A and B are shown apart, each in its own frame.
Chain A
Amino acid sequence: MTKHAILIDLTQCVGCHFCEAACQANKGLPADTQLVTLRFNEFTGEDDAFSQEMGRKQCMHCVKPACASACTVGALRKTADGPVVYDAAKCIGCRYCMYACPFQVPAFQWDRPMGLINKCDMCADRLAAGEQPACAAACPTGAILFGERDALLEEARQRIIKAPDRYVHYIYGEREAGGTSVLYLSDTPFAELGFPEVGYESLAHANEEVMHATPTVAAGMMLALTGVYWTVKRRNELMHRHPIDFEVEEAEHVAKNR
């Protein structure tokens, strides 16, 4: 299900923005549109030492994506290969995915008359051709690793074990929102780098639990309404007939015995 993944070691990121440029070139995006965004976080330590740490924002490619669960027309889909892909030909631009995504990743093309969604698809077309995503191929320092999710998780753990002083002991994406196919290592706590703190359960679960109750509610409601209708009708009939009933009964009795 979640074969491929990306591991990003922020300690090796030098902030060259090659990944952003490669992404834009590969997707043919306009200059002001980015699917992958690096951002600088500036820190001043206790000894007034200034440092810049890289944060990064892109689609996390959740194992169980809430956006795909929410999408009205099923334009978003998790593939067996790993990426969460987007079918622009189906999308109606309702923007529900933007609220469903706990990482606030999908972005709308506000400047276009007929707007659609912008979102990283892990270069699904390149993956199909046996290549790695454009950003991973472009990274000069090896900060972006492409591979199988299990292997990358193991690699991330090994890195933390080998250099425990260098990393915060946390792999962002291992369990976030039910696990993601983009994983991060960092030397600065993730919250300080602007990574949202999300729960460990996929939001898709709560949604689908509620949605799967629909047929039951529909059938139950129809049955209940029919039942109530029949009961009230019967009650009304009985209530209205009673005073006359006895006389009809009596009349029938008289007629029979005549």
Chain B
Amino acid sequence: MYSDKVMDHFENPRNVGEIENPDGVGTVGNAKCGDIMKMYIKVDDEKINDIKFKTFGCGAAIATSSITTEIVKGKTIEEAQQLSNQAVAEALNGLPPAKMHCSNLAADALHKAINDYLGIDNEEDNDEDAHHGHDLGEECTLDMN
């Protein structure tokens, strides 16, 4: 159900970990939904000098986190702000429909980390609502028979 690219990032996730004294931290999701992503950024001369993540979640959650860090490392803050969840999914050669909404939040976590750096208040956590606003597709239906 996952592309080779997703499997590659799941098996060999890039930039896992935390940054000591980060310039910005962003967290999305919650344990109730089964996905939490936390992004740490270090900014130097308006560029993302270093980025690390920690993720609790499914294969898609881990792969989207990993590729997001890879895409924006070395990019300017402005460029990183343009990155969308959709673009992250495309960079992974697509995600199963059911995963598009529930596990594809890495860009959101990045934006929160950037806002944290810029001193912009992150909006109150509506992640749970955002999660539950979407219907799941057929992709994620492995029942325990």
Asked if A and B bind, the verdict is: no
Show the binding face of B for A, using Cβ within 8 Å. Answer: none
Query: Which residues in A have some Cβ–Cβ distance to B below 8 Å?
Result: none
